[in-house]
Structure 1
Amino acid sequence: MGSAMNPPSMSEAKPAPSRRRGRIQLLLIVLGVVGPMLLATGMYKLQFWVPEGRSYHGELIGNGQTRADLGVQADEQRWQILVTAPKDCAVDCQQLVYLARQIQISLGREAGRASHALAAAQPLSADYAAKLDREYPQLQRYPLDAGVFARTTGDKAVPQLWIVDPHGNLVLRYEPNVKGKDLLNDLRHLLKLSNIG
């Protein structure tokens, strides 16, 4: 009779709404932490909501390939603007070598963080080699293993320009018709983001 006449106390009447609110808060916290990870995974796997725009102009090399995979053996600890010539270094190749030097000079205060180089599969003509000795004293020159280069690039016989990071990883690739301004902007952006080299 006493239990029927006594109304429940205030502390006994509130547990259900309080417990429900606690569960909702816990669920929201879990969704706040796990939700973005699930969304990012879905975007990556299913390729939806992936931005079309990009901030670089060359072809991004993100597969772990290194300078050695191009057939170039070098030990450069700075960023490198590397020109590869799988055949003779003719007009397109020579223009890329000139562009590589100009880009390095255009870096201004940051020029010491980068170098420019030529890797050629065939010996340079005597006239061009003399010109490089005279006008490009800082140009690094390496032999290019044409067989390794062909396996890596799919036998692209045209000269190409590469940006290589200080660890020797290939970062960006450019065709002979690359615009100097685009290349310079890409390299400046990489140097700004990087704390190596």
Structure 2
Amino acid sequence: MQEAMRIRHQRFKLLALIAIFALPVIAAWVMVQWRIGIPEQRTAHGELAPDVPQLAQWPLVELTDSLDEGDWVLAFDCSVACAENADRWWRLHRALGREAPRVTRLRIGGAGETLPGELLPGEIGAQWLDVPDWQAPGQVWLLDPRGQVVLTYGREVGERDVMDDLSHLLRMNPDRRSVPERNGDTR
């Protein structure tokens, strides 16, 4: 009798151990199969724009090579309310804090003085040669360090939405230029 109780107890412990490891796998399978408990929310506020070419292929009068390699680019069309838009994106750039040096603002069109951290190349600045069909007045593009458009925003976008997306992208993509510092390598 004692021996049968011990064997039954050992079997129960084995089944409990199997259940501990099998239940999360079964629960995950059920969630995926029947779409139960999977969040449907969006994390990016901007729109993906796969039809927008890389920055080097944009039809600009004066496209600059003075962009720092490894910088993210916040390009904005300044053909409408340029002073307000330039100030708006300058304030967002300042709000990035210690991550601000990783971002360059590129103003396309408009006139006026450049604000700190803004790139307005050449004497006349970056101007559209011919307006592409993917461009709209006041539009904003967020480009990765390779010049590929990551997200695009309409004129009515809130600064907070762009800030959330940009902060998230900067956090998820650490600056490769500072990696040797983090690892203690001083070469």
TM-score, reference length from structure 1: 0.57
Cα displacement (A) at 1:136 = 4.4
Which ranges of structure 2 fall in alignment gaps of 5 or more residues?
A: 177-187
Partner of 1:68: 54
Taking the aligned partners of 1:136 and 1:49, their CA distance within structure 2 comes to 47
More off after superposition, 107-116 vs 138-147? 138-147
Q: Provide, for residues 147-174 of structure 1, a one-character-per-residue CA deviation record: whole Å limited to 9, x for no partner.
A: 8x54xxxx45444112223344434322
Cα displacement (A) at 1:91 = 1.4
Taking the aligned partners of 1:106 and 1:117, their CA distance within structure 2 comes to 17
The structure that has the greater radius of gyration is 1
Larger helix percent:
1
1:118-137 equivalence runs, <5 A: 118-119=107-108, 124=109, 128=111, 131=112, 134-136=113-115
Identity of aligned residues (%): 21
Question: How many residues were matched structurally?
Answer: 164
Taking the aligned partners of 1:38 and 1:146, their CA distance within structure 2 comes to 52
1:1-197 equivalence runs, <5 A: 10-11=2-3, 14-32=6-24, 34-39=25-30, 41-42=32-33, 46=35, 48-51=36-39, 58-61=45-48, 68=54, 71-72=57-58, 76-83=69-76, 85=77, 90-92=79-81, 95-119=84-108, 124=109, 128=111, 131=112, 134-136=113-115, 138-141=118-121, 150=133, 155=134, 157-196=136-175
TM-score, reference length from structure 2: 0.59
Matched to 1:78, the amino acid is D
Cα displacement (A) at 1:196 = 2.7
Cα displacement (A) at 1:114 = 0.8
Taking the aligned partners of 1:95 and 1:172, their CA distance within structure 2 comes to 21
Contact 1:81–1:114 under 8 Å retained in 2? yes
| SS in structure 2 of the partner of residue 112 of structure 1 | helix
